[in-house]
């Protein structure tokens, strides 16, 4: 479109999303119109947003000032390379999810209950538009308004099935933590405007110009880490994530896990590399340590879950932890002005954001299809779905391989880059950092391997084996819309896996903007097929050749075996060492599969178990795994809050004279404090 | 990328050699073990007879078997061939080597492991899922240990490319790096676990309480089983060559050195022969552990590997 700047196009995109949402209110109960017309339109708009962002990567930043806002406080917007990378992520991933949603929301609110589809359509597109505005905002005011809109619209999306008390509770927990985080972000912005003696300029440009002392800079960074960490799911403010993600409808879970968590990463990157204007090495250590703990915690809990969506939610915590590890490493390198290495680590961060957005959305959507087909989300009642649902099963396999961080799909590329970054950490000019930081790589390796365990559990128990319930025979594969959405995200996972060079060339503009250096020169030097961030002698990875080799061996081997011998197949019952009790209950349950993990890492979990005894008439075994943080941190805080509240109720005596005295005392105090 | 005909032929030769030698290595280990245990030894070529026999047989497929079950043997075989193609056994002049460095090599093994564990779970028998679960249990501890071993070596050499590691290590003067000693012990322990050997697993057992690898492949037959067995021996070969490349790289030929290539073949056979004998010795003097001792064993390997890395960072960075 000539004469139309990318930022203008993106504003049109945001308006289009809002308009599509509003159109849903025209016929709020007409599922067919909303699902088959409005959601595909939203997907189309998402593709436009992605393409515009892709096109604007590498060009100078553009700004705009909107007429809306408060008097004298207009919204400032800015599209630079960092925003563009995340807008690209938002557009491309949300397009896949919207296409899928066109097929998913076919029954009004899943059985006539819950939110009407029209209202859902409003909330969904408002959510998309608010995420876009978060990425474009260029002042604290616009950012916070968009951030809050995002939190509220996603709250209503989470509580779509608000008839269930558990879902309402999950929603309120999410809302609470989102707001605690928002307060921290607001305070962080406040610190960055310079406080009392500062300029008070609330635009991001003003914050960049502000010179902060190291103390206030650290305060701003830590507040931002806490605030954005609460949205991203970093320890210890992660508890909402495994509650809210399973509660929401699957496309919403996919959108939250795939895209919304990344807006928090965007915010953290924006504050720590752009707005604060300084970097201290210990910030990196803090981010690295929190990231490692989060990743370990997430993956341990992911392996022991019995609900498929909770498993994925914990896996998201793990991936966010890995991203935080990457941010920490970038900060450490950046603080010592080792920009080439910082660029390597930051590329790993951005790449993992893209990769995780793709494969986690894909997996959440697959659980949506399974949920639709079977009405079950407990792993213990699934099994053998690769038979009736081959499309979903094979696409989920792509997500699982990427999620386990295995080549040649997307998750491996970022993990590989991250480990390469760690290999350089012994060169840090600090006496103990250069010894401790490399050891963190050992934990990253452990996390990656455990993620494989969790993913095999997820896939094996849902899609393989015998069906654990007879009703599963009637399961049906995903419909054409759902399939299209899954294929879109599966294709994204494959592309991110096999074409890292091409993609790094595009997203490198963001790295260069933040650090002044990037990997693009190296990538361009070695050719698009090869990933060699430093030099081919040092380390290289060519996923396309890798994939081609395995596929060629596979096909050639198959052809040769059939040519030299034969391709005969006979069917018979399973052998199983001659053991003939082969019912579905002889398989591992979800709990059984993770039993070794629970046993080896027992202190990590808070478990309530019931073992059958010899005298039981109806013996049963049950295990309930809970989060230590809930008991160590949240319940004490909640109790303290309740205790303080009871103290405060004493102020409320119900007598007007006392209340008047309160006002009087307050007035006197204010006059004393605000004396000119 | 320097691409030459000689390099390409050398690559092809390395792959063919791996395919041909891998069952022989398995046969040799079995023979050594039989001698050490005072049994009559099977012929050296027994694994080839087995493969031939299995390829001839019909595939007997369980009723519930899915397409993934049928594809998995080929995928696993492809992964192992790729692993053998990028580990320098005779020469470091391998055009495929840039496709995957040592970290990606760990990924290849991981990919094969995920596929075999999923295939084990596919039929839905009790043994299959048990095997899949145990394989992933062994894997999640062995994989990071292997990664840290490679990390330590990579820190010494400043490269994760296997070819560069071999070229650098083979050229240095003979110094004993204490970190490499730790890494070597950890690598040996990981190799035992990864190749389903005593004391973690027993390749000769079908006892339900002890098996890991065999439990997953119980339902395979015919050509599928042949491919899996072949892939298992390729894996042993790959691990042996990786160990030799990391810790005893002397004698591996470099670019455009045809004479050294000729000399490398008997040297490789000698090294593999000694390695195979030592493996049989370890298997003979050890007993199979309970499955819940395996995490302790592998945890030790992981800690040894981390210790090796710390030793590297604490002591050798100062030199």
User: What does the pLDDT look like over B256-269, one tens digit per residue?
Assistant: 667 777 888 888 99
Tens digit of each residue's pLDDT (9 = 90 or more) over A58-95: 888 888 888 777 777 788 899 999 999 999 999 999 99
Q: Which long-range contacts (CB under 8 A, 24 or more apart) does A431-439 make?
A: A433/A281, A433/A285, A433/A332, A434/B313, A434/B317, A435/B310, A435/B313, A435/B314, A435/B317, A437/A288, A437/A329, A437/A332, A438/B151, A438/B155, A438/B309, A438/B313, A439/B306, A439/B309, A439/B310
Please give, rounded to a whole number of angstroms, the shortest distance from the CA of A414 to a CA of chain B.
12
Q: What angle do CA A118, A121, A122 make, to 5 degrees?
A: 95
Q: Whose CA is closest to A143, among A75, A73, A232? A: A75
CA gap B150, A422 in Å, rounded: 13
On whether the CB atoms of residues B47 and B291 are closer than 8 A, the answer is no
Chain center to CA of B56: 27
Kind of pairing, strands A62-70 and A73-79? antiparallel
Helix A81-104 to helix A480-498 angle, to the nearest 10 degrees? 150
Q: Looking at the partner chain, which of B58, B75, B292 has a beta carbon nearest the beta carbon of A570? A: B58
The percent of residues above 90 in pLDDT, for chain B, comes to: 40
Contact A464 B122 (CB under 8 A): yes
Return the pLDDT at A110.
47
CA A653 to chain centre: 47
CA distance A120 to A109: 9
Which residue from A332, A349, A337 is spatially nearest to A426, judged by alpha carbons?
A: A332
Q: What pLDDT does residue A3 have?
A: 66
Structure tokens at B311: 């030793």
* Beta bridge pairs of residue A118: none
- B254 lies in which domain range? 5-316
A589 sits in which H/E element: none
Q: Which residue has the tokens 């790959």?
A: B238
CA A300, distance to chain mean position in Å, is 17
Structure tokens belonging to residue B287? 């007993």
Q: Which of A396, A442, A318, A397 is nearest to B308 (CA)?
A: A442
Give the alpha-carbon dihedral of A539, A545, A549, A552, to 10 degrees.
Answer: 180
Model pLDDT, residue A111:
47
Give the residue ranges of chain A where pLDDT is below 70: 1-3, 106-114, 195-200, 676
Q: Which residue of B has its CA nearest to A465?
A: B124
Asked whether the beta carbons of B249 and B166 are under 8 A apart, the reply is yes
Which H/E stretch holds residue A65?
Answer: strand A62-70
Find, among A456, A387, A400, the residue nearest to B118 by Cα: A456
Nearest to B224 by CA among A397, A549, A456, A561: A561
Q: How far apart are CA A547 and CA A553, in angstroms?
A: 10
CA distance A600 to A200: 54
For residue B58, say if its preceding peptide bond is cis, omega within 30 degrees of 0: no
User: Residue A495 and residue A363: Cα distance in Å, rounded?
Assistant: 17
* CB contact (8 A) between residue A460 and residue B121: yes
More confident residue, A496 or B199: A496
The CA distance from B248 to the nearest CA of chain A, in Å, is: 20
Q: Is A60 helix (H, G, I), strand (E, B) or coil?
A: coil
Q: CA-to-CA distance for A630 and B73, rounded, in angstroms?
A: 45
Say how far apart CA B100 and CA A541 lie, in whole Å. Answer: 5
Q: B123 and A574 in contact by Cβ < 8 A?
A: yes
B123-147 pLDDT, tens per residue? 888 888 888 888 898 888 898 999 9
- C-beta atoms surrounding A459 within 10 Å: 26
Is residue A486 within 8 A of residue A365, CB to CB? The reply is: yes
Interface of A with B in 456-485 (CB under 8 A): 456-457, 459-461, 464-466
- CA dihedral over A344, A349, A354, A360, signed as positive or negative: positive
Structure tokens at B164: 């560069």
Q: Are B235 and B110 in contact (CB under 8 A)?
A: no
> How would DSSP label each residue in A602-621?
GGGSEEEEE---TT-SS---
Q: In chain B, which residues have their Cβ closer than 8 Å to the Cβ of A390?
A: 67
Contacts of B319 (CB under 8 A, 6+ apart): none
Q: What are phi and psi of A404, to 5 degrees?
A: -80, 0
Q: Closest Cα to residue A230, out of A244, A216, A212?
A: A244
Q: In this structure, what token pair is assigned to residue A466? A: 């015998």
Give CA B38 to chain center in angstroms. 27
Q: Residues 394-423, chain A: which have Cβ within 8 Å of B? A: 397, 400-401, 404-407, 412, 416, 419-420, 422-423
3-state class (DSSP) for residue B249 = coil
- Supply A497's token pair: 């896996």
Which one of B60, B63, B124 has the shortest CB-CB distance to A383?
B124
Angle at A19 between CA A15 and CA A25, to 5 degrees: 155
Burial class (CB in 10 A: 0-12, 13-18, 19+), A500: buried
The nearest alpha carbon in chain B to A587 belongs to B126
Of A53-62, A584-593, B29-38, B195-204, highest mean pLDDT: B29-38
The dihedral over CA atoms of A189, A192, A196, A197, expressed in degrees to the nearest 10, equals: -160
Tokens in use for A308?
Answer: 């498929």
Quick one: closest CA in B to A545, which residue? Answer: B99
Residues A385-411: pLDDT tens digits?
Answer: 898 899 999 999 999 999 999 988 999
Q: How confident is the model at residue B319 (pLDDT cuts 50, 70, 90)?
A: very low
* Total domain count, chain B: 1
For residue B192, give how far its alpha carbon lies from the nearest alpha carbon of chain A (Å).
Answer: 18
Which parts of A24-164 fold into alpha helices (H)?
31-33, 39-56, 81-104, 117-136, 140-158
Mean confidence (pLDDT) of chain B: 87
Which 376-395 residues of chain A touch chain B by CB within 8 A?
A: 383-384, 386-387, 390, 393
**Which of A302, A438, A440, A469 to substitute to test the interface with B, most B CBs within 10 Å?**
A438
Match 């003003």 to its residue by tokens. Answer: A206
Q: Residue B99: which of A549, A553, A573 has the nearest Cβ?
A: A549
> Model pTM?
0.93
Q: What is the pLDDT of residue A147?
A: 94
The pair of structure tokens assigned to A560 is 């040769």
Q: A644 — contact with chain B (CB < 8 Å)?
A: no
CA distances in angstroms from A42 to A38, A66, A667, B195, B315, listed in the order given = 6, 23, 53, 51, 59
Give me the pLDDT at residue A404, please.
Answer: 92
C-beta atoms of A456 and B117 within 8 A: yes
Flag if A442 and B305 touch (Cβ within 8 Å): yes
B161 interaction partners in chain A (CB closer than 8 Å): 536-540
Measure the CA–CA gap between A161 and A170, rounded to whole angstroms. 11
Q: Provide the ipTM.
A: 0.93
The answer for A 513-552 residues in CB contact with B (under 8 A) is 527, 530, 532, 536-542, 545-546, 549-552
Are B62 and A572 within 8 A, CB to CB?
yes
Give how far Cα A270 sits from Cα of A260, A276, A513, A562, Å: 15, 9, 11, 57
Asked if A316 contacts A233 with a C-beta cutoff of 8 angstroms, the reply is yes
| Distance from the Cα of residue A281 to its chain's centroid | 26
Torsion over CA of A17, A18, A20 and A26, rounded to 10 degrees?
170
**Positive or negative, the Cα torsion across B178, B179, B184, B190?**
positive
Let me know: does B295 contact B303? Beta carbons within 8 Å.
no
Which residue out of A475, A574, A578, A587 would a mutagenesis test of the B interface target, given it has the greatest number of B Cβ atoms within 10 Å?
A: A574
Say which of B85, B117, B147 has its CB closest to residue A445: B147
Report angle CA A237, A81, A42 to the nearest 5 degrees.
75
Q: Residues A498, A499, A503, A505: is their CA dihedral positive or negative?
A: positive
- Residue B52 CB contacts under 8 Å (≥ 6 apart), including other chains: none
ω into B199 cis (within 30 of 0): yes
């Amino acid at each position: 479109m000539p004469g139309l700047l990318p930022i203008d196009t993106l504003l049109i995109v945001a308006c289009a999303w809002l308009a599509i949402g509003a159109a849903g209110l025209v016929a709020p109960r007409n599922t067919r119109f909303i699902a088959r017309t409005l959601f595909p339109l939203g997907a189309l708009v998402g593709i436009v947003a992605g393409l515009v962002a892709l096109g604007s990567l590498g060009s100078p930043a553009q700004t705009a000032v909107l007429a809306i806002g408060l008097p004298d406080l207009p919204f400032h917007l800015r599209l630079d390379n960092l925003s563009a990378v995340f807008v690209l992520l938002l557009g491309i991933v949300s397009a896949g999810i919207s296409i899928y949603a066109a097929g998913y929301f076919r029954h009004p609110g899943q059985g006539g209950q819950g939110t009407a589809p029209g209202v859902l359509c409003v909330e969904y597109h408002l959510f998309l538009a608010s995420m876009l505005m978060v990425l474009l905002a260029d002042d604290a005011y616009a950012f916070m308004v968009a951030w809050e809109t995002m939190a509220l619209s996603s709250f209503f999306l989470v509580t779509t099935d608000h008839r269930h008390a558990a879902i309402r509770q999950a929603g309120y927990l999410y809302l609470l933590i989102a707001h605690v985080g928002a307060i921290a972000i607001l305070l962080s912005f406040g610190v960055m405007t310079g406080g009392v003696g500062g300029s008070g300029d609330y635009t991001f440009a003003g914050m960049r110009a502000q010179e902060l002392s190291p103390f206030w800079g650290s305060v701003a960074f830590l507040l931002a880490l806490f605030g954005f960490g609460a949205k991203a799911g970093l320890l210890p403010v992660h508890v909402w994530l495994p509650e809210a993600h399973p509660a929401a409808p699957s496309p919403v879970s996919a959108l939250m896990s795939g895209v919304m968590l990344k807006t928090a990463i965007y915010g953290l990157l924006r504050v720590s590399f752009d707005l604060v204007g300084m970097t201290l090495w210990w910030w990196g250590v803090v981010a690295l340590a929190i990231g490692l703990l989060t990743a370990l915690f997430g993956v341990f809990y992911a392996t022991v879950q019995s609900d498929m969506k909770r498993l994925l939610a914990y896996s998201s915590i793990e991936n966010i932890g890995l991203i935080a590890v990457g941010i920490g490493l970038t900060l450490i390198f950046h603080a010592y002005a080792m920009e080439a290495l910082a660029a390597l680590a930051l590329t790993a961060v951005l790449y993992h954001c893209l990769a995780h957005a793709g494969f986690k959305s894909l997996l959440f959507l697959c659980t949506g299809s399974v949920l639709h087909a079977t009405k079950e989300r407990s792993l213990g009642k699934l099994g053998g779905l690769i038979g009736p649902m081959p499309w979903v099963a094979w696409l989920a396999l792509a997500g699982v391989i990427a999620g386990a961080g295995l080549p040649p799909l997307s998750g491996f590329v970022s993990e590989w880059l991250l480990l390469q970054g760690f290999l350089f950490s012994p060169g840090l000019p600090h006496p103990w950092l250069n010894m401790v930081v490399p050891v963190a790589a050992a934990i990253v390796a452990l996390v990656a391997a455990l993620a494989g365990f969790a993913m095999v559990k997820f896939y094996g128990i849902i899609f393989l084996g015998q069906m654990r319930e007879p009703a599963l025979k009637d399961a049906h594969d995903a419909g054409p819309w759902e399939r299209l959405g899954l294929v879109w995200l599966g294709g994204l996972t494959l592309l991110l896996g096999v074409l890292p060079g091409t993609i790094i060339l595009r997203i490198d503009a963001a790295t260069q903007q933040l650090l002044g250096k990037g990997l693009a020169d190296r990538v361009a030097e070695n050719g698009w097929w090869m990933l060699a961030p430093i030099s081919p002698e040092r380390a290289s990875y060519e996923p396309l050749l890798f994939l081609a080799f395995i596929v060629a061996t596979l096909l050639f081997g198959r052809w040769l075996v059939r040519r030299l011998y034969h391709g005969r197949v006979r069917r018979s019952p399973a052998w199983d060492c001659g053991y003939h009790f082969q019912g579905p209950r002889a398989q591992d349950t979800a709990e059984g599969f993770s039993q070794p993990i629970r046993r080896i890492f027992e202190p990590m979990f808070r478990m309530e178990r019931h073992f059958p005894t010899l005298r039981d008439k109806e013996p049963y075994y049950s295990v309930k795994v809970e989060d230590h943080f809930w008991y160590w941190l949240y319940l004490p805080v909640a109790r303290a809050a309740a205790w303080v509240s009871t103290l405060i109720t004493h102020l409320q005596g119900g007598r007007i004279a006392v209340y008047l005295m309160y006002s009087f005392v307050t007035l006197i105090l204010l006059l004393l404090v605000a004396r000119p | 990328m320097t691409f030459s005909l000689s390099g390409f032929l050398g690559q092809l030769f390395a792959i063919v050699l791996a395919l041909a030698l891998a069952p022989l290595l398995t046969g040799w280990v079995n023979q050594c073990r039989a001698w050490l245990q005072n049994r009559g030894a099977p012929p050296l070529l027994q694994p080839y007879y087995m493969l031939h026999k299995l390829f001839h047989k019909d595939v007997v497929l369980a009723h519930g078997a899915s397409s993934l079950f049928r594809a998995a043997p080929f995928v696993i075989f492809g992964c192992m061939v790729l692993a053998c193609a990028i580990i320098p056994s005779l020469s470091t002049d391998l055009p495929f080597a840039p496709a995957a460095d040592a970290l990606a090599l760990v990924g290849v093994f991981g990919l094969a492991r995920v596929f075999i564990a999923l295939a084990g779970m596919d039929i839905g028998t009790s043994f299959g899922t048990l095997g899949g679960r145990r394989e992933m249990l062994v894997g999640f501890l062995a994989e990071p240990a292997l990664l840290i071993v490679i990390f330590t070596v990579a820190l010494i050499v400043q490269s994760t490319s296997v070819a560069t590691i071999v070229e650098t290590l083979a050229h240095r003067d003979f110094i004993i790096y204490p970190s490499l000693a730790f890494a070597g012990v950890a690598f040996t322990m990981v190799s035992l676990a990864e190749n389903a050997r005593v004391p973690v697993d027993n390749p000769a057992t079908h006892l339900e309480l002890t098996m890991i690898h065999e439990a997953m492949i119980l339902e395979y037959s015919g050509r599928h089983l042949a491919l899996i067995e072949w892939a298992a021996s390729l894996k042993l070969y790959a691990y042996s060559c990786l160990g030799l490349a990391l810790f005893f790289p002397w004698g591996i030929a470099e670019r455009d050195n045809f004479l050294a290539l000729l000399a490398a073949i008997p040297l490789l056979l000698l090294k593999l022969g000694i390695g195979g004998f030592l493996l049989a010795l370890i298997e003979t003097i050890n007993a199979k552990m309970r499955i819940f001792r395996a995490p302790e064993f592998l945890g030790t390997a992981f800690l040894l590997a981390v210790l090796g890395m710390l030793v590297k960072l604490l002591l050798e960075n100062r030199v």
